[in-house]
Amino acid sequence: MLINEKIRFMRQQKGWSQEEMAHRLSMSPNGYGNIERGYTNLSLPKLKKIAALFDENLKELFGSDDKNIFNSIGDNNTGIQANQNFCSLFSDTNQCTKNIQVESNLEKQILINAQQSREIKMLRQINELLVEKEDRHNTEQIVGDKGNAYEKMK
């Protein structure tokens, strides 16, 4: 279960609305809704506050099977640094840091693959347009040749 899904699940278990949760976190309902949808990178202080609302510590909030701790893709590795700070809360910090680095590399590769897929799709569309253009040109040339042959027969 991803952290945003777990936060939603725990909020629902408490019987709180998104608006109530947003108020407890001193944020807008839309901002909180983005957390539950996984659109927001959570800071360590915000995570601590969420865990406290559920009467849990961060380790319990994440659990050992969570796959997505933070979105660690960024222009300047700030996400990785935040993740390393997060790992310092656990006893096995080396393994936690390695897992985050692997996850970061995987997420980057997924983005690269998605971009390559978009480029391949675009190249296929360009190829189809070029084939259509060539077919039209060949058809026009054939029609033109037949017209010239007809003129010569007169």
Are 89 and 61 in contact by the 8 Å Cβ rule? The answer is no
The token duo for 64 is 């050992």
* pLDDT tens, position by position, 85-125: 555 555 556 676 677 777 777 878 888 888 888 899 999 99
The closest alpha carbon to 85, from 60, 63, 58, 53, belongs to 58
* pLDDT tens, position by position, 53-94: 998 877 777 764 434 444 433 333 444 444 545 555 555 566
Which residue ranges form the domains of the chain, and what is each CATH number?
3-114 (1.10.260.40)
Rounded Cα distance, 25 and 148, in Å: 81
Instruction: Give this prediction's pTM.
Output: 0.44
Rounded Cα distance, 37 and 55, in Å: 22
Phi-psi region of 26 (alpha: psi -120 to 50; beta: other; left: phi over 0): left
Rounded Cα distance, 2 and 37, in Å: 10
31's enclosing H/E stretch is: helix 29-36
